[in-house]
Amino acid sequence: MLLEEAQPQFVAPRSPKITRATTVDLVLEAIRGKILRGEIGSGEALRQEALADELGVSRVPVREAITRLHGEGLVTLVPHRGAFVCGISADEVRESFEIRLRLEPWIFGAAMASTSDEVLDKALEVVDEMDNATESTWGQLNWRFHETLYAPSGLHLVIETLKRLNDRNERYFRFQVVNVPIRENTRREHIEMIEASRARDVRLGTRILRDHLKKAMNQIVSVAEALLRREASRTTKG
């Protein structure tokens, strides 16, 4: 894969405005994709020079991208040693979902008072997009659905915190979404959340959301534990 520093590309975000993707943005997306696809495994080092050569850029945007990945929780920076892909941890998954279980029902309930049919129609559009999502895009669309419902609350700091938690767990979504019943159940629960929000039924909506998050936590913890067993087996055989 080659990324040309001299020719930045245009990308269309969710807002109507068109923004220019920088070299750092492109490098960040490329390296993040390698981590989430498992091409760079848990605990592996991120070699700046090798990545720069592979992507056709200098080491400067690679270094900046790694710094951002550290901020997302996907990379650990070790003094005098370098950057390493964060290890898989079922306990971390549980902890992140425990935080989400405390924050998301609150922010969802707060958002209902200020939501609109336009917002809820946008959320439904994301649900439809998720029907055809691949394992590489499903996790991002899932977050966009939740973000759309929560945005009317105006609690931007909380939303940013939740996004970081979602980013940390995105790699597990790739294994989760190949399961058709899980996708179907998630779709149904998302629609139920939209309907509860449209009815301004805070009690029902937050109950559906809590159940939704608990199911996701159990599924993703199972995925993390399976990955840990696979890594342990590979290490033993090696």
Annotate 152-179 with b (16+ C-beta within 10 A) or e (fewer).
bbebeebbeebeebbbbbbbbbbbbbee
Range of weakest confidence among 37-46, 146-155, 192-201: 37-46
The residue-averaged pLDDT of 24-30 equals 91
The residue-averaged pLDDT of 102-111 equals 97
Residue range 182-237, pLDDT digits in tens: 788 899 999 999 999 999 999 999 999 999 999 988 888 887 787 777 767 756 66
Residue range 157-172, pLDDT digits in tens: 999 999 988 887 777 7
Assign 139 a pLDDT band (cuts: 50, 70, 90).
confident
* pLDDT score for 32: 83
* pLDDT score for 181: 76
Q: Indicate the burial class of 12 (C-beta count within 10 angstroms; 0-12, 13-18, 19 or more).
A: exposed
C-alpha to C-alpha distance for 66 and 70, rounded to whole angstroms: 6
pTM of the model: 0.68
Q: Which domains does the chain have, with CATH numbers?
A: 10-85 (1.10.10.10), 90-237 (1.20.120.530)
C-alpha to C-alpha distance for 62 and 81, rounded to whole angstroms: 16
